[in-house]
Structure 1
Amino acid sequence: MSFMCQQNSYLKELHAKVTSCKPAKLALVENGKKTTVQGYEVILNDTILFPEGGGQPDDKGTINDIPVLRITRVGKEAVHFVEAEIPENSDALLKVDWQRRFDHMQQHTAQHLITAIADHKFGFKTTSWNIVTDIVTIELDTPLVTDEQLRDIETSANEKIRDCVPVIVTLYGDKTDPELKKFRGLGLPADQEGPVRVLTIEGIDSALCCGTHISNLSHIQAIKLLGAEKGKKNKMNVMFLAGGRLLKYVGESFAREKTLTGILKGPAENHCELADKAVKAMKLLQKTSNQQLREIASLEVAIFKQADQKDIVFVKHRKEGDNDYISVLLGELADENIPKLISVGTSHGRGRDTVPFLSARSKICDLFEGKGAASKGLFRGKAGKLTNRQKAESLLRDYVKAHTVVDKEI
């Protein structure tokens, strides 16, 4: 079946009749979590909402202002999943998310144009493409695409856009029509029924396609090939943007460039050099800081050992400390058979689960709202907060005073 969205991809609204509405479930992934939604599968006598297929995602839109969560094609029918029942034989007003639709039209037609030029000029066959990610990719069946070839393809594509070449859709009776063998394509679905669409970019290419497309290459506005990288099985992935996505990308890139100019104190053409210097300087400072922390740890233990009256416990907190700092302290204290309470990191704020500490008892762990486990006589863990350090120290001292013999580190 050829749906209205395929016959006129520019149509934004459509009045239709509900022919079927059946209870169903839909598996969705929201914020990385799988959920199952109870709802209804609705079939209409026609639709402007494109069902997923041919590498193009399904549309978003509404039926009688009810959001359509998924649209799939089953045989010759488009199945719309909604959460509310829409009675059979009732009238329905369909509205498409036009911004999403037009973006898909621009990217999809741009893909056809790039695919045709890459094939005609260099014999690079397209084996797949991906429009779902922010940057669109085309997989080409070649082990190498040079920068010069990319520039050639991009230049040719934008010349065709400026020439305002028409894009025409032709319907053929069904998939058995022998004429279809003349056209490029990756094949038809096994359950394909009804008319078969052929998309023709006038004078450039004709290919089997079920997706939504613009009617003239000028509506793409512009195409930018961003580069190519090695893909699977000795193939290359060409990355591109067209139309609205390209404009958005340029705007966001300029905003980032402006921010980096302020941070790096230099013009855009020097950003890479300035960023490289900044990273190297940061690494050097980090190395110096780590060395100084280790030296401080050794000095702190030396001061502890040289005290006229040695403390019954070793308690130390250093906000800028790290695991190396803790390890040096423990190494220098290896000959001191006393309880040790060492903490590092910020002393305020919940959720700081990256702050490590060593404590004497699980009760101290509770005071820190932390998690950990005992290993080789030491309790090691991560704290949710460290504002109860004084309470933890008091608990440790009370424990030591209550035990006249301390035979191991706890």
Structure 2
Amino acid sequence: MLKNRLYYENPYCKTFSSSIVKSSQDTDSNSYVVLENTAFYPTGGGQPYDTGTLNGVRVLNVEEVEGEIRHTMEEVLDSTDEVVGVVDWERRFDHMQQHAGQHILTAAFVELFGFPTVSFHLGKEIVSIDLAVEGVSLEQLDAAEKLANVIIVENRLIETKWVTENELDNYSLRKQLAVSDEIRLVIIPDLDYNGCGGTHPSSTGEVGVLKILSTEKEKRKVRVHFVCGGRVVEQLHKKNRELAATSKLLSAPEDGVAASVEKLLESNHFLEKSLKEMRETILTFEAKDLLNKQEDGIVKASFANRTVQELQKLSKLLVAETADIIVLLVAESDGRLQFVAARGASVETSMKQVASAILPAINGKGGGSDAFVQGGGEPTISADELLQEMVESLEHWPSSM
């Protein structure tokens, strides 16, 4: 029976003795054992598995498969029926804190706002719940966090009970249960009654403290990220280290970091705007220089490390300046060849013929209109060679005008 499992009988059990009833390998050739009874919690209900050792050999994973709890081992156990198990208590207690904290926070959202939790995930560093609402305000988050911590400080009893389906009417359950036999309830009196198969401490005070970190939209739900107990301290250390490092980089006191960052962003915005204006000016001069070098109405050039956006801007400047030219530009950058071809307003030759002629040579893709095309491909030939092929594709121009 489920309730006879050691992790349910005593979630504080750190060391236990049992016997091996099965030793085998899974479909991935991982060795595992099944014990007569175990204190190792298997993955389930949003809570990860326990780790530890059996006879000194590391337990890598614990999962329930077809009604048996499989302990995946780092190496094959010696052929013995008797084993001594040691649960990684730091990991186990952390999971107990986070899972109990989830019950408390979920109950706080229901108590205050009627927001139901529809899913729960206990990650390695962060815990999250998904609320079945489309938005949660900062004031609501603060209120739920405050109530959760009040409940923790009150050190309320956390009870577990095994009940039958007929007894469920005696409890105000938070949500409908998915099981009908061997029902386990986790109860925080006058607050939360919930079916749950996880491990929890015996009182809310052992959760320590709860801190909401952030939220994000998840389809039509809101995902709330939070931590409890020892993880709050870890997050505080992490954020303090980041704050101290940022303070040092900015040469600003820690309580002045936000103002310094705001000033830095304003300065960066100004510099970006200035740089953009300078680039536009340089492109204008570059366009005039290229126009002076045109041959038979064709402006052509190849570049290294230019973006296709720069090629586009340069070609538009050129055809806007002179209506009776064709512009052919090529750039090789980051291991790719890119090109643009554009025509002035008085030219009738379609630039699509340029793209059609050269794309096979570079295993490329491209598209556009009769007036402008762009594309790119592999550097199977040099930029200058590609430019020459573009020129040759226009061998009948300007007679076709």
TM-score of the alignment, normalized to the shorter chain, above 0.5? yes
Offset from partner CA, 1:112-159 (integer Å, 9 cap, x none)? 233444555666554443323744334556777665555454344434
The TM-score, its normalising length taken from structure 2, stands at 0.70
Residue in structure 2 matching 1:154, options 137, 145, 149: 145
Shift of 1:210: 1.7
Instruction: Tell me the distance in 2 between the aligned counterparts of 1:141 and 1:309.
Output: 67
Alignment CA distance shift 1:152-1:313 (3 Å): closer
What is aligned with 1:112?
A: 103
Shift of 1:220: 1.8
Instruction: Tell me the distance in 2 between the aligned counterparts of 1:298 and 1:228.
Output: 47
Question: Contact (CA 8 Å) 1:41, 1:79: kept in 2 or not?
Answer: yes
Shift of 1:20: 2.6
Question: Contact (CA 8 Å) 1:14, 1:48: kept in 2 or not?
Answer: yes
Q: Name the amino acid aligned to 2:69.
A: A
Instruction: Tell me the distance in 2 between the aligned counterparts of 1:119 and 1:379.
Output: 56
Identity %: 24
What is aligned with 1:349?
A: none
What is aligned with 2:40?
A: 49
- Counting only pairs closer than 5 Å after superposition, residues 129-144 of structure 1 correspond to structure 2 as 129-132=120-123, 134-139=125-130
Question: Contact (CA 8 Å) 2:40, 2:62: kept in 1 or not?
Answer: no
Shift of 1:70: 4.7
3-state SS of 1:54 partner: coil
- Name the count of aligned residue pairs: 372
What is aligned with 2:164?
A: 175
Question: Contact (CA 8 Å) 1:199, 1:207: kept in 2 or not?
Answer: yes
3-state SS of 1:102 partner: helix
CA RMSD of aligned residues (A): 4.7
Shift of 1:337: 6.0
Question: Contact (CA 8 Å) 1:115, 1:125: kept in 2 or not?
Answer: yes
Question: Contact (CA 8 Å) 2:41, 2:62: kept in 1 or not?
Answer: no
What is aligned with 2:382?
A: 392
Shift of 1:292: 2.7
Q: Name the amino acid aligned to 2:339.
A: L
Shift of 1:276: 4.3
Question: Contact (CA 8 Å) 1:169, 1:199: kept in 2 or not?
Answer: yes
Question: Contact (CA 8 Å) 2:117, 2:130: kept in 1 or not?
Answer: yes
Instruction: Tell me the distance in 2 between the aligned counterparts of 1:308 and 1:291.
Output: 26
Alignment CA distance shift 1:141-1:297 (3 Å): closer
Shift of 1:107: 0.9
Question: Contact (CA 8 Å) 1:16, 1:47: kept in 2 or not?
Answer: yes
Query: Is 1:357–2:338 an aligned residue pair?
Result: yes
Residue in structure 1 matching 2:234, options 248, 252, 256: 248
What is aligned with 1:218?
A: 205
What is aligned with 1:33?
A: none
3-state SS of 1:69 partner: strand
Query: Is 1:99–2:90 an aligned residue pair?
Result: yes
Question: Contact (CA 8 Å) 1:18, 1:86: kept in 2 or not?
Answer: no
Offset from partner CA, 1:162-189 (integer Å, 9 cap, x none)? 444443444x3x5346267426354544
Question: Contact (CA 8 Å) 1:129, 1:137: kept in 2 or not?
Answer: yes
Q: Name the amino acid aligned to 1:245.
A: R
Residue in structure 2 matching 1:69, options 40, 61, 64: 61
Alignment CA distance shift 1:313-1:63 (3 Å): farther
Instruction: Tell me the distance in 2 between the aligned counterparts of 1:314 and 1:144.
Output: 55
Question: Contact (CA 8 Å) 2:294, 2:300: kept in 1 or not?
Answer: no
Alignment CA distance shift 1:396-1:158 (3 Å): closer
- Counting only pairs closer than 5 Å after superposition, residues 215-364 of structure 1 correspond to structure 2 as 215-226=202-213, 238-306=224-292, 314-317=300-303, 319=305, 321-331=306-316, 340-343=329-332, 352=334, 357-358=338-339
Instruction: Tell me the distance in 1 between the aligned counterparts of 2:208 and 2:60.
Output: 30
Shift of 1:227: 6.3
The TM-score, its normalising length taken from structure 1, stands at 0.68
Q: Name the amino acid aligned to 2:285.
A: L
What is aligned with 2:354?
A: none
3-state SS of 2:42 partner: coil
What is aligned with 2:17?
A: 15
**Unmatched 5+ stretches in structure 2:** 341-356
3-state SS of 2:16 partner: strand
Alignment CA distance shift 1:83-1:192 (3 Å): farther
3-state SS of 2:310 partner: helix
Alignment CA distance shift 1:293-1:364 (3 Å): farther
Shift of 1:108: 1.0
Instruction: Tell me the distance in 1 between the aligned counterparts of 2:102 and 2:137.
Output: 19
3-state SS of 1:114 partner: helix
